[in-house]
Amino acid sequence: MSTATAPVHDTPTGRRARWFVGGLVEITAGAADTDGRYTLLEVTMPPGAVSPLHVHHTEDEGFYVLEGAVTIEVGDDVVTLGPGQHAFGPRDVPHRFTVGPDGAHMLWVLTPGGFEALVEEASVPAATLTLPPADVLPPPDFADIARRHGNQLLG
């Protein structure tokens, strides 16, 4: 049995906070913290935020809504989630989400761990634990960054 270790992070919440694709992402646990088993992200997204259609080739993804509402499209399935509800996006199945009119606060769990490396490369450190200013945009080479991390943007 291995001994649990507490990761060192850079915010008062104990998490690495990033402004990523229009939202605030707090890296609660990454591959280094979980022996590579999973990544846990706490995500806050503004009303109406839409992720591009994309596919993960190296990890499965779970979405758990804490507050607000999110419509998740996974393959041909579409479901709208509210607080306390979960959806699963298996690897190699295209998916996207659309945030409801009140925004959303979610947990994303990705297995195995490592997705936080994409988040860190395609984001900037959050100056505050708030949504990013409108001028904070994804990098112009976001599709290339995603591809390097085993993901593909489809639309």
CATH number for position 39: 2.60.120.10
Range of the domain at 107: 16-127
What Rg, from alpha-carbon coordinates, does the chain have? 15
Establish if 118 belongs to a structural domain: yes
CA distance 84 to 67: 8
Under the banding of pLDDT at 50, 70 and 90, the label for residue 155 is confident
125: pLDDT strictly greater than 80: yes
Establish if 11 belongs to a structural domain: no
Count of the separate structural domains present in the chain: 1
Q: What per-residue confidence (pLDDT) applies to 8?
A: 40
Q: What per-residue confidence (pLDDT) applies to 69?
A: 98
Predicted confidence (pLDDT) per residue in 47-79, tens digit: 999 999 999 999 999 999 999 999 999 999 999
Establish if 101 belongs to a structural domain: yes
20: pLDDT strictly greater than 90: yes
Predicted confidence (pLDDT) per residue in 28-48, tens digit: 999 999 999 999 999 999 999
Establish if 135 belongs to a structural domain: no
Establish if 7 belongs to a structural domain: no
Under the banding of pLDDT at 50, 70 and 90, the label for residue 13 is low
Establish if 22 belongs to a structural domain: yes
3: pLDDT strictly greater than 60: no
User: Which own/partner contact pairs does 82-88 have at CB distance under 8 Å and 24+ positions apart?
Assistant: 86/62, 87/62, 87/63, 88/60, 88/61, 88/62, 88/63
Q: What per-residue confidence (pLDDT) applies to 19?
A: 97
Establish if 144 belongs to a structural domain: no
Establish if 10 belongs to a structural domain: no
